[in-house]
Amino acid sequence: MNHSTRLALMLTDMEEAPAQFKPTNFWQTGLPSIIEDLRRRGFEDFRDHRSARKLYVPGFSSRTWQRHQAWLDPLFRFADRLPTRSTVGSRIRLFFDGTIEARRQHQIFALPK
């Protein structure tokens, strides 16, 4: 199924859904930009679409990591080989790649209720 057909089916399902399953006003405000991104780019990388990143999808990694991972990652691996601080690169990478924030949010989610 191509992404235009999938999008049309998704929008039809959304309109025909019972009231308790319909999107709230919060979602409706961003729907036009989401639909536009899905039409242009498809579903494959929807979490990276501008509309999703701007409004709905939490981003754990820093913009610096996203833009410069190609040269930062080798730098962090080199730092791990330094004799005095053997894991400094790995620890810095955890900050930039979003691992620390993702773990923190998971810990909050997993707290006993």
pLDDT per residue rounded down to tens, the chain (113 residues): 787 888 899 889 988 989 888 888 877 778 888 888 888 888 887 777 778 777 666 666 677 777 888 888 888 888 888 776 667 788 788 888 888 888 888 888 788 86
Same domain, yes or no: 69 and 49: no
Q: What is the extent of the structural domain holding 87? A: 63-109
Same domain, yes or no: 88 and 71: yes
Q: Which of 26, 55, 84 is the last residue of a domain?
A: 55
Same domain, yes or no: 48 and 73: no
The answer to whether 65 and 99 are in contact (CB under 8 A) is no
Please tell me the total count of domains within the chain: 2
Same domain, yes or no: 74 and 104: yes
Same domain, yes or no: 67 and 100: yes
Same domain, yes or no: 51 and 67: no
pTM of the model: 0.47
Same domain, yes or no: 31 and 71: no
Cα separation values, 92 from 65, 67, 73, 74, 97, Å: 11, 16, 10, 12, 9
Retrieve residue 111's tokens: 């707290």
The answer to whether 58 and 102 are in contact (CB under 8 A) is no
CA distance 65 to 95: 9
Same domain, yes or no: 51 and 75: no
Encoded amino acid at 18, one letter: P
Same domain, yes or no: 51 and 73: no
Centre a 10 Å sphere on the Cβ of residue 35 and count the other Cβ atoms it contains. Answer: 14
Retrieve residue 77's tokens: 């691996």
The answer to whether 2 and 39 are in contact (CB under 8 A) is no
